Structure 1
Amino acid sequence: MKPPCEIVVWYVIPAIRSELAKELLNLGMKQKDVSELMDITQPAVSQYITDKRGSGIKLGEDVRIMVKEFAFELSNGDATKADLIPRTCKICKNVKTSDVLEQLGISKSDLGEDCESCMGSEADC
């Protein structure tokens, strides 16, 4: 069984990055500019927007709204590259653990007592 932190790295963060890249492109940015802003390669941006990367789970509507707001702030200069890690972490903490586990077909009991250590901030884990 994968530890919770591995689930975050393999599924949650890529899903957030994918949504962010798509939103930035929808706001008129070029792939090259998105890659520089997100500190990833241009091929990674291409993979995010074509769902070859980051499509393992679907984010909830509330999380997608947070990503959309962040993308808007990045595109108009109200947020910068320096905000990327703290805002991604904030968004990640709002991802519902139960939603991710359900989509991956994993039971909370499979993760043991540490299930909330890396996956969101839910206390009902």
Structure 2
Amino acid sequence: MKSVYEIVYRYVFPAIKKRLAEELQILGYTEKEVAKLLKVSQPLISRYNKGERGSAIGIAQFKDLDAQIKQLAREIAQNNLSTIQIYSELHKLAAYFMAKKFGCALHKKLDGIDPTECSVCPTIFSFETRLARV
């Protein structure tokens, strides 16, 4: 069975970064500028655009998450957020994705997990759970 962290690392995080890169380009950033902001290579941004990376999950289908990514892109454009601030927000978005069980269909496809019997992601990725343990 794949760890939920492996699912995030291999599928969720790249899909969220891809969607953010798309939104930044809609706002007028070039591939090179997006790469610099995200501290990745320009060829990776090109691969996002061609659908070669970050395409295992169609993030735009999750309307609330997509709205948050669009908002982050606007904040980056308006406030010139630091790389640390950008990645902090990206990590929050990935945790939100998992807490809402948006990754269950992919996990089921990869490992045959029954989402009706599993509550791992909402338990470990929910903000309330993390606060309760502090």
Q: TM-score scaled by structure 1?
A: 0.82
Corresponding residue number in structure 2 for 1:101: 104
> 1: CA distance between counterparts of 2:124 and 2:9?
10
Q: Is the CA contact 1:20–1:67 (under 8 Å) kept in the aligned structure 2?
A: yes
Does the CA contact (< 8 Å) of 1:93 and 1:121 recur in 2? yes
Query: In structure 2, what is the equivalent of residue 62 of structure 1?
Result: 64
CA distance in 2, matches of 1:119, 1:15: 20
Unaligned runs of 5+ in 2: 129-134
Q: What's the C-alpha RMSD, in Å, of the aligned pairs?
A: 2.6
RCO (CA 8 Å, sep 6+): is it higher in 1 or 2?
A: 1
Q: Aligned residue pairs: how many?
A: 121
- Show the counterpart of 1:121: 126
* Cα distance in 2 between the residues matched to 1:99 and 1:112: 13
Deviation of 1:101 (Å):
1.9
TM superposition shift of 1:47: 0.9
**Do residues 37 (structure 1) and 42 (structure 2) align?**
no
* 1:22 counterpart = 2:22: yes
Contact 2:101/2:122, CA 8 A, preserved across alignment:
no
CA distance 1:71–1:4, shift in 2 (3 Å): same
2:18/2:48 contact within 8 Å kept: yes
Counterpart contact for 2:20–2:70, Cα < 8 Å: yes
Alpha-carbon distance in structure 1 between the residues aligned to 2:52 and 2:124: 23
When residues 68 and 107 of structure 1 are mapped into structure 2, their CA distance, relative to the original with a 3 A threshold, is same
For residue 91 of structure 1, the aligned residue among 75, 79, 93 is 93
SS of the residue corresponding to residue 99 of structure 1 reads: coil
Letter in 2 for 1:121: S
SS at match of 2:103: helix
Q: 1:118 to 1:46 in 2, by over 3 A?
A: farther
- When you count helix as a share of all residues, which structure comes out higher? 2
Cα deviation, residue 112, structure 1: 7.1
